[in-house]
Structures are given as structure tokens and as C-alpha cells.
Amino acid sequence: MSYSGFTDTFGFFWAWLSNPLRVAAVVPSGRALSRLITSEISAGTGPVIELGPGTGAFTRALIARGVAQENLALVEYGSEFAVKLHHRFPRARTLWMDASRLKAVELFGGVPAGAVVSGLPVLSMPPRKVIAILDGAFARMRPDGAFYQFTYGPTCPIPRPLLDRLGLKATQIGRALANVPPAAVYRIRRRQPRPAAGGHRRERTDLIDVESATWC
Ligand SMILES: C[S@@+](CC[C@H](N)C(=O)[O-])C[C@H]1O[C@@H](n2cnc3c(N)ncnc32)[C@H](O)[C@@H]1O
């Protein structure tokens, strides 16, 4: 392991000790997971937003796939990570903020992003926060944009009622068994609006009890 790899791993572990719920992993993601979560992204994707970059494992993979630093917005809540990211990727825009406030900031001069890559620990977040994160992310993306989320869990980390409420669908794009621990990556996209089949069909999002939604 290189010197910077060692300091990243040690710094990450230290951050986890200080705030286990926010950091939610003992070590940074490995190469297999970084490659998988960025596998559908290229320079042609346009601007990319990364949520919870930590020490920058996915950021490096995005750059290796041809995404220019200028086309990256790094949204990180941990000050220990945000400062490092700013020094490490000086031409990317690092935002030291809560990802649930994404809707309030303008990025890339108003040009919508083509993808969002998330390392956020959504399983340990309350449903309202997850909704704010997804709502903000999709507000900042093109209609064909995709949100990539990894999980250590056995199924999609966003509960089905939340996906339904926001008009989204999730598809697993692969598993990184070589990661510690093994992880899976989900692509979340907007659902195609269904053509109305005669008469009026109103969405009843008010029927979903968000607070009692269970994690799938
Ligand atoms: C599981 S770590 C993933 C780090 C990195 N992406 C990786 O895979 O190695 C979660 C990261 O999300 C950040 N984070 C947690 N809650 C956040 C929030 N509400 N807004 C922005 N970043 C957050 C943590 O500080 C940490 O860097």
C-alpha cells in the first residue's frame, strides 16, 4: 500500500471512530467497487455530482474514466474529508455541506448533471432525509440522468415506497465481491411516464406513510 493509501485508510478509520453513523464504513471503498459504480460513466456523461466522496476513491475512478475535474462537484459533510478533497482535486468544486441541501445550490453554471454517484450511508438515514437527497439529486440532473448508489445490504437500499413516491425505479448493475465488505451497486432512474389509458388516473402519493416505510 502506498503512503497516501495508508494515510487515507488510517484517516478514514479515525473519522469512523469519531462519527460511525456518518462515515458508516471502516475503510474506503476498494478498486473493484470504485470501478463498478463508475462503469457506466464517461467523459460524454457531462457534469457529475458525487455525494459523500470521503477520501476520493470514486472520484479517482471517475477521473480515470475521463471525467474532467472541472465537471465534478464533490458534496461532502465531513470537514476532515472536504479539506482533503479540495487539496487533492483542486479543479473540482468541493462543497462542504449536507447532501440533503443539494436542491438549494446551483452547480456547473446551471448545466444539469448527467449522473450522481453516491457513497452516502442511506441505510442509516431517516426516510425524510433520503427523500430530500434524491429529490435534490434528480432536480440537478438531466431527465435521462442516473443516480448510482452502493450498498453492503442484500437488496436495494432505497425502500420501494420511496422510489414509488418519487417516480423512480432501481436496477442492480452488479456486485463487487472483492470489496471489503462485498457490495452491490444500484442505478436509479426516473420512470417513464405511463400514457394515460382512457379517463383520468391520479397519482396518490399522499397514501404512502414515509415515516413507517421499511428498508428493503
Ligand atoms: C461510506 S463513506 C463512503 C466514502 C467514499 N465514497 C468511499 O466509498 O470510500 C460515507 C461518506 O459520506 C459522507 N456523508 C455522510 N452523510 C453525509 C451527508 N448528509 N452529506 C454529505 N456527505 C455525507 C461521510 O462523511 C463519508 O465521507
Rg from Cα positions in the chain: 17
CA 152, distance to chain mean position in Å, is 14
Ligand 1 contact, 145 CB (< 6 A): no
Amino acid at site 162: L
Ligand 1 contact, 77 CB (< 6 A): yes
CA-nearest of 53, 65, 67 to 23 is 53
- The grid coordinates listed for 25 are 464504513
Confidence (pLDDT) at 41: 98
Beta-carbon-side half-sphere exposure of residue 210 (alpha carbons within 13 Å): 15
Confidence (pLDDT) at 25: 84
3 by Cβ neighbours in 10 Å (0-12 / 13-18 / 19+) ranks as exposed
Residue 56 CB neighbour total at 10 angstroms: 23
Per residue in 106-127, pLDDT tens? 999 999 999 999 999 999 999 9
Confidence (pLDDT) at 21: 86
Confidence (pLDDT) at 170: 98
- Nearest atom in ligand 1 to the alpha carbon of residue 33 is 8
Q: Which residues of the chain have pLDDT under 70?
A: 1-3, 194-216
Confidence (pLDDT) at 205: 39
What is the C-alpha to C-alpha distance for residues 98 and 152, in angstroms, rounded to an integer? Answer: 22
What is the C-alpha to C-alpha distance for residues 159 and 16, in angstroms, rounded to an integer? Answer: 25
CA of 28 to the centre of ligand 1 (A): 10
* Ligand 1 binding pocket mutation candidate from 120, 151, 180, 185 (most atoms within 8 A of CB): 120
Confidence (pLDDT) at 33: 98
CA 2, distance to chain mean position in Å, is 27
Instruction: Decide which of 3.40.50.150, 3.40.50.300, 2.60.120.1060, 3.30.70.360 is the CATH code for 23-192+205-212.
Output: 3.40.50.150
Confidence (pLDDT) at 204: 43
